[in-house]
Amino acid sequence: MENLLQDLRYAMRTLLRAPGFSLIVVISIALGFAANATVFSVANGLLWGLLPVKDPGRMVMFSEGQSYSYPDCIDYRDQSADIFEGGVAGHFPLIPASIGGKGEPERVWGQSVTGNFFPSLGVPMTLGRTIGPDDDQAGGHNHVVVLSNSLWRRRFGGDANILNHDVALNGRYYTVVGIAPAGFYGVDRGIVSEFWVPLAVASEIMPDLVTDGSITTRRDNQWLMINGRLKPGVTRKQAEVELNVIKKRLDDIYRKDEKRNDTLTLQTAGGLIAGSATPAFTLMAVLMVVVGLVLLVACANVANLLLARAIGRQKEIAIRLAMGAGRRQLMRQLLFESFILALTGAGVGFLLAAGAARAISNFQLPLPFPVVFDFNVDMRVALFTLGLSIITALLFGLVPALRASRPDLAGALKDGPAVLGGTGRSRLRNALVVVQVALSLVLLATAGLFLRSLGNASSIDIGFKTDNMLMMTMDPKLQSYSHDKTVQFLGQVRERVSALPGVRSVSFVGVVPLSIGSSNNSYDVDAAKDHPKQNINADTNSVGNGYFTTMGIPLLRGRDFAPSTDDQHSVIINETMASHLFPGQDPLGRVIRQDKDQYTVVGVTRNSKLRTIGEKPLDAIFMFLNAAPEKANSFFGTTLIVKTSVAPGAMVHSVREQIGTLDPNMAVFNIQTMREHVDKSLLLPRISALLLGIFGVVGLTLAAIGLYGVMSYTVRSRTREIGIRMALGAKPRGVLRMVLRQGLTLTAIGLAIGLAIALVVGRFAASVLYGTSGSDLLTFAVVSSVLLATAAIAILIPAIRAAHVEPTVALRYE
């Protein structure tokens, strides 16, 4: 132990005597570790983080992305008692609600759950009790609610007296029976649920779930997510086998006419909702590969730097060996140096990753419901970083230690520099540099493509205006408004807001453009003499009169909706739909059918973006919101759009005040400008460009360090050769060219290999790029030039040093 401590102290003193070298190595390691720890933090928060529940490893969910009927849930519960503790539990994950009480009404999201939902999770309440089986009985006292800890503190000031008191949700009163623990928001990752009500009241609190009151009886109404806790000793594989036996039995009884070959699988509870785990896992896998390459480049760099530094320490090592020091002791000390550098770099990288992960957590997705991911570093990330630091210390420290501990004693004991390694070793170092340059070019080229794509996306004509536009959403349907009352309320809101100073125009829309979740329906028209019958799927939206004027979308033909409900059977279509349904014909006055409903085309608008920035022109049909406001999706509500002549932010208070005057219980939410909303639609391109840009800069930096290290090594190992050349008449300029030629040759080979790989990567990335191809010549030319210039600077420093070698000093040791 004493020898180990002595070796450790010696290693630390050695590194402190070379602060410049130590700093460069620590920076190289820190950059590689920061990239890996950041991506691992995101993957952990997105895919692997455990639920804050009792024994989370035994909590499972049924078939990711699939939903089940209530009768199926009951059958699985009753027939799997030997598999799950307390049977399986069901929940519906997304219920929008307007909550009243102190302050202004607020839009919150919650869940309806079976009576065994909380008992199966083993979640202890901060106050009160959970929802139990008795609360989930039809006709019983089931108007109870459990509030999240954050909602309880935010809305009710953390008042413990809230228990057994009523709160208003969507105009109905529910008795608060419990407060969930801090940090618990349900079992669906990222979804922020702030209240839970019994499943028995699902159709009451969320009318969109049901059309005929049969959500608890119909097997074809699949709307529930199912989860459960495996009994001790029951493996996931065993449970899947037994559950598939149950599934086959249910299919044979209730689904005889359906061909069902799907298999029920179990995943760890707390996963992503609605089948989004697979694309998320794919994205994380790609990023992990990318940052793994970054770390590999860093390790190769540090190995080269350690080899270059060993040249300057050959005399020291030779003297210690000549005085009786053992080779094992020398290797141990050199490996200690590697571990100290690795752990220091990992620590710095860990801190950088913590800041980066926290920043990524603040990104907001363009979704109608709150999504929050905790990407902060935790024990898993800390252990990952520690394990990675040990592996990389061995990876980049072992080979240099082995080679440095076997110097040429005769040559090394002279006062001049000696050569460490032969031609084979030089080829290895050169190959590592080529790999670094190639991988750095791939990272830079990919980042360049995404940056170019982001710039193109920002300049795409979206077809509507964004300046001086204010948006805010409300949902009269959740307040149990009738058709007539909704039309009256929206009309009053429009009248009052239009009269405010600074307001130019006002309208409404069911789904704001560039929002996720637009609806799509099938429409057809009668056959014309020279055209067959047309049938088409079109993006469907409900808008108020004046919507196209307010949004700045030109009407190409026809008219806008009239202010009255006379236009209940009228529609406006975009030019793409007009060209598909009525090629070469006048669409005005033509009839479009959807099932049994018929609509007359009264106008044609110019195309505008509907769902995403990069989409091709889609077929779109607009219906009059006043004709059927109850069809508006409660997940979105109805959005008020105000065109202003002043800064839209200055109008928020006065517009909200007018809505509150008409109905003080109406929650107003998603308050933002149109510019902010459109910017959110570019979130994913921004994140991709940001991450890849950072990784590209890291790769560029590491490649420059690698080239510098190798060329420094080369200059030191060829000092005598250079001295002889200069003694025989070689000029400093010729020596400078020789060193530059060697370094730039390695760079050119790396560039050629990197370009070939980048073309392949670009081909795969082309589908998610906006307005640029995966083989964009300008991008590849720019990044190649940047990398070449950076490499030239890194090579120039040791080249200048070589050009200033004194022949007499280099030769007097021979």
Is 618 or 359 the better-scoring residue by pLDDT? 618
What single-letter amino acid sits at 802?
A
Is 404 or 501 the better-scoring residue by pLDDT? 501
364, pLDDT greater than 60 = yes
Is 331 or 106 the better-scoring residue by pLDDT? 106
Mean pLDDT of 598-627: 91
Q: Helix, strand, or coil here: 267?
A: strand
- Angstrom distance (rounded) from CA 469 to CA 811: 78
State the angle between helix axes of 732-765 and 719-727 in degrees (0 to 180), rounded to the nearest 10: 130
Output the CA torsion 715→716→722→723 (10° steps): 150
What single-letter amino acid sits at 443?
L
313, pLDDT greater than 80 = no
Taking alpha carbons only, the member of 505, 471, 430 closest to residue 713 is 430
| Helices and strands in the chain, H and E counts | 23, 21
Taking alpha carbons only, the member of 42, 55, 456 closest to residue 283 is 42
Specify the range with the lowest mean pLDDT, choosing from 164-173, 203-212, 533-542, 561-570: 203-212
Confidence (pLDDT) at 407: 55
Confidence (pLDDT) at 234: 93
- Angstrom distance (rounded) from CA 781 to CA 448: 10
Confidence (pLDDT) at 79: 93
571, pLDDT greater than 70 = yes
What single-letter amino acid sits at 384?
F
Confidence (pLDDT) at 655: 96
295, pLDDT greater than 70 = yes
| Average pLDDT across the chain, whole number | 82
Confidence (pLDDT) at 809: 57
- Per-residue confidence at 45, pLDDT binned at 50, 70, 90? confident
Mean pLDDT of 117-139: 89
Top-ranked range on mean pLDDT: pick from 43-47, 157-161, 321-325, 479-483? 157-161
What single-letter amino acid sits at 803?
A
- Angstrom distance (rounded) from CA 143 to CA 220: 27
pLDDT digits (tens, 9 = 90+) for 638-649: 999 999 999 999
- Per-residue confidence at 611, pLDDT binned at 50, 70, 90? confident
Is 125 or 356 the better-scoring residue by pLDDT? 125
529, pLDDT greater than 90 = no
- Angstrom distance (rounded) from CA 706 to CA 696: 15
Confidence (pLDDT) at 420: 42
Confidence (pLDDT) at 399: 66
**3-state SS of 242-258?**
HHHHHHHHHHHHHCCCC
385, pLDDT greater than 90 = no
Confidence (pLDDT) at 751: 93
Is 334 or 462 the better-scoring residue by pLDDT? 462
Specify the range with the lowest mean pLDDT, choosing from 38-52, 222-236, 621-635, 780-794: 621-635
Is 322 or 560 the better-scoring residue by pLDDT? 560
- Per-residue confidence at 538, pLDDT binned at 50, 70, 90? very high
Top-ranked range on mean pLDDT: pick from 254-268, 344-358, 391-405? 344-358
- Per-residue confidence at 465, pLDDT binned at 50, 70, 90? very high
Burial of 383 (0-12, 13-18, 19+ CB in 10 A): exposed
Confidence (pLDDT) at 813: 45
720, pLDDT greater than 90 = no
Confidence (pLDDT) at 422: 47
Contact 704, 798 (CB under 8 A): no
- Angstrom distance (rounded) from CA 699 to CA 301: 11
Confidence (pLDDT) at 502: 94
Q: Which helix (H) or strand (E) holds 106?
A: strand 106-113
Contact 369, 637 (CB under 8 A): no
Centre a 10 Å sphere on the Cβ of residue 606 and count the other Cβ atoms it contains: 15
Is 309 or 476 the better-scoring residue by pLDDT? 476
Q: Which residues are bridge partners to 543 per DSSP?
A: 509, 624
Top-ranked range on mean pLDDT: pick from 190-199, 204-213, 314-323, 410-419? 190-199
The pLDDT > 70 percentage for the chain reads 85
pLDDT digits (tens, 9 = 90+) for 161-202: 999 999 989 888 999 999 999 989 988 888 889 999 999 888
